[in-house]
């Protein structure tokens, strides 16, 4: 799989081709599904306080996120199986139907228990939507468009970062949190209406395999442990939960190496194959990206920013991610792609080290400006590597079934890594003596994760046997 040389004109034509009449419809569906999933995450965070005020259940507040995440991880594992049984069109309609149904349940919830059930349905459907976003890129588009399509689909997380909190904040302001979920359900219905026109109904032929029950159990248990650890008030319990979750992930990898029915494609564990390094790089970058969780808090406590301004500071990493993806996705020369993939984690490391070095109490405007630049740089590093890593994963296996599994696993790796990263961030912040110490500790440790990503990224670019 060697990318070919092209001119700048050809690169521009690639974006025009992706967004042209032949591919615009499918891309609206795939990107729209991921956008719904991302917007829902940030929107719900803004709406939950208002919902709890009305229906009660404050002690179960954090479980609304935990249940959503665990359901997403479980369903993400089932993407390739659903494609084999229902075909692309049936799979996508099932995914968006589950998401819409869960959203309607949330809108109508009379109490917290019903809301949690709705969040579980949302998470299950959302995990499928996000996984299908990658799996169907591989089966729907020509290989030379994979990087651009991956950039567009994953760029929807940036859209969610902005639209979700803004939309949720507006509805919460007017006490109309239920209406926000109704609007989200209507958007899901709108996307579902165009699925039959743009997504094929042809099933992928291949051997039918069973559900990887043991792997699913290990992954979901790991996600549950680190999610619960992230909401624990005791730092020791939080750290213990993270360690136990990581241990379960190690057990998952050990099991996958020996299992017949797997989540990851078999080629992942073939000696000399680089796919495992690609997934490792995804994991390290996804962990690093969760640093944004505490950026608004740092902006308020250290920089004296108002909540709205602090929220936009927290979105700086997502802005950089989107800019990095759009600017790098058109690269196709092998040497350029290798340089971008390796340079990505390096830029994250530099950006986070700068952020760590400049965290201080009473930060002035120019210091805050440095934070913005450092976060944008870190986000750009993730973005410039991500679409090409996606292409590596999608092209790792020529078999349609195994190739679809490799593509869908991108989302699984991202979801689990985000959970580990968020819980780890909570541990690091709690370990700091002051808020400035917490910020320096967080960015410093996550810079180390990104630095490890430089090595795994380099290994992922080595020629395959």
Confidence class for position 359, pLDDT limits 50, 70, 90: very high
- Are residues 291 and 439 located together in one domain of the fold? yes
The pTM assigned to this predicted structure is: 0.88
- CA torsion 117→173→423→71, rounded to 10°? 20
Confidence of residue 440 (pLDDT cuts 50, 70, 90): very high
Write the burial class of residue 350 (CB in 10 Å: 0-12 exposed, 13-18 middle, 19+ buried). Answer: middle
Q: Does residue 284 sit in the same domain as residue 196?
A: no
What is the model's pLDDT at position 163?
A: 83
**Does residue 456 fall inside a structural domain?**
yes
Q: Which two tokens stand for residue 413?
A: 């790796």
pLDDT score for 6: 43
Does 331 map to a domain? yes
Whether the per-residue pLDDT at 350 is higher than 60: the answer is yes
Q: How many CB atoms lie within 10 A of CB 150?
A: 27
Q: Which residues contact 430 (CB under 8 A, 6 or more apart)?
A: 235, 238, 438
- Structural domain includes residue 111: yes
The model's pLDDT over 288-298, given as tens digits with 9 standing for 90+, comes to 999 988 898 89
Lowest-confidence segment of 114-123, 170-179, 362-371, 445-454 by average pLDDT: 170-179
Residues 330-340, mean pLDDT to the nearest whole number: 92
Whether the Cβ atoms of residue 161 and residue 2 lie closer than 8 Å to each other = no
Domain endpoint, select from 149, 169, 202: 202
Mark whether 181 and 89 lie in a shared domain. yes
Per-residue model confidence as pLDDT tens digits over 392-433: 999 888 777 788 888 889 999 999 998 888 888 888 888 888
The reply to whether 55 falls in a domain is yes
The domain boundary residue, chosen from 202, 217, 245: 202
The residue-averaged pLDDT of 432-438 equals 90
Q: Which two tokens stand for residue 379?
A: 């986000």
Assign 12 a pLDDT band (cuts: 50, 70, 90): low
Asked if residue 332 and residue 461 are part of one domain, the reply reads: yes
Which pLDDT does position 63 carry in this prediction? 86
Residues 33 and 176 in one domain: yes
pLDDT in tens, 215-250: 989 999 998 888 888 777 778 888 888 899 999 999
* 198 and 285 assigned to the same domain: no
The answer to whether residue 324 sits within a structural domain is: yes
Q: What is the CATH number of the domain that holds 166?
A: 1.20.1250.20
Residue 255: inside a domain: no
Q: What separation in angstroms does the CA of 109 have from each of 116, 182, 231, 432?
A: 9, 12, 23, 39
Q: Of 178, 202, 226, at which residue does a domain stop?
A: 202
The answer, yes or no, to whether residue 465 has pLDDT greater than 60, is: no
User: Considering only 66-70, 173-177, 298-302, which range has the smallest mean pLDDT?
Assistant: 173-177
Tokens of 451: 């630095």
Q: Is the separation of the CB atoms in 383 and 329 below 8 Å?
A: no
From the list 193, 90, 92, the residue with the least C-alpha distance to 134 is 92
pLDDT tops 90 at residue 306: no
Q: Which of 324, 326, 316, 301 is nearest to 438 (CA)?
A: 301
The angle, 0 to 180 degrees and rounded to 10, between the axes of the packed helices 63-77 and 213-231 is 160
The answer to whether residues 95 and 81 touch, using CB atoms and an 8 Å cutoff, is no
Nearest to 141 by CA among 81, 77, 199, 203: 199
* Total count of domains within the chain: 2
309 and 177 both lie in a single domain: no
Q: Based on the fold, state whether residues 128 and 48 are members of the same structural domain.
A: yes
**Domain containing residue 95:** 22-202
Q: Are residues 280 and 135 in the same domain?
A: no
* Whole-Å CA distances, 408 to 120, 152, 256, 332, 433: 20, 16, 16, 23, 41
Dihedral sign for Cα atoms in the order 77, 82, 85, 87: negative
What pLDDT score does 31 carry? 94
| pLDDT of 99 above 80 | yes
CB-based burial, 118-147: b 16+ in 10 Å, e otherwise:
bbbbbbbbbbbbbbbbbbbbbbbbeebbbb
Structural domain contains residue 155:
yes
* Residue 105 forms part of a structural domain: yes
The answer to whether the beta carbons of residues 136 and 82 sit under 8 Å apart is no
* Residues 182 and 277 placed together within one structural domain of the fold: no
């Amino acid at each position: 799989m060697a990318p070919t040389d092209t001119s700048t004109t050809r690169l521009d034509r690639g974006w025009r081709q992706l967004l042209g009449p032949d591919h615009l419809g499918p891309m609206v569906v795939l990107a729209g599904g991921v956008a719904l999933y991302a917007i829902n995450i940030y929107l719900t965070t803004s709406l939950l306080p208002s919902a709890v005020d009305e229906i009660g259940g404050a002690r179960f507040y954090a479980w609304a996120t935990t249940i959503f995440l665990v359901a997403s991880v479980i369903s993400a594992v089932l993407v390739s199986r659903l494609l084999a049984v229902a075909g692309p069109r049936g799979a996508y309609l099932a995914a968006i139907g589950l998401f819409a149904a869960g959203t309607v349940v949330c809108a109508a919830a009379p109490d917290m228990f019903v809301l949690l059930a709705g969040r579980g349905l949302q998470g299950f459907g959302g995990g499928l939507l996000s996984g299908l976003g990658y799996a169907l890129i591989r089966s729907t588009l020509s290989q030379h468009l994979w990087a651009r399509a991956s950039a567009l689909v994953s760029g929807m997380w940036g859209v969610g970062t902005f639209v979700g909190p803004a939309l949720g904040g507006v509805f919460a302001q007017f006490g109309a949190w239920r209406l926000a979920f109704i609007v989200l359900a209507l958007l899901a219905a709108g996307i579902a209406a165009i699925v039959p026109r743009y997504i094929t109904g042809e099933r992928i032929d291949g051997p039918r395999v069973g559900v990887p029950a043991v792997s699913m159990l290990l992954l979901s248990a790991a996600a549950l442990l680190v999610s619960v650890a992230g909401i624990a008030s005791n730092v020791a319990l939080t750290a213990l939960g993270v360690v136990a979750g990581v241990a379960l992930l190690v057990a998952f990898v050990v099991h996958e190496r020996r299992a017949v029915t797997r989540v990851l494609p078999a080629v992942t564990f073939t000696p000399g194959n680089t796919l495992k390094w690609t997934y490792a790089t995804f994991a390290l970058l996804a962990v690093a990206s969760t640093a944004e969780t505490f950026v608004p808090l740092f902006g308020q406590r250290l920089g004296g920013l108002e909540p709205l301004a602090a929220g936009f500071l927290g979105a700086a990493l997502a802005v950089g991610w989107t800019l990095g993806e759009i600017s790098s996705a058109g690269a196709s020369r092998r040497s350029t792609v290798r340089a971008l993939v390796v340079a990505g984690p390096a830029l994250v490391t530099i950006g986070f080290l700068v952020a760590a070095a400049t965290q201080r109490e009473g930060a002035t405007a120019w210091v805050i400006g440095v934070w913005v630049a450092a976060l944008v740089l870190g986000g750009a590093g993730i973005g410039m590597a991500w679409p090409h890593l996606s292409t590596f994963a999608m092209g790792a296996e020529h078999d349609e079934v195994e190739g679809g599994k490799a593509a869908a696993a991108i989302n699984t790796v991202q979801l689990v890594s985000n959970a580990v990263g968020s819980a780890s961030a909570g541990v690091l912040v709690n370990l700091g003596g002051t808020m400035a110490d917490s910020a320096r500790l967080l960015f410093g440790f996550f810079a180390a994760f990104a630095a490890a990503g430089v090595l795994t990224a380099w290994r992922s670019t080595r020629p395959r046997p």
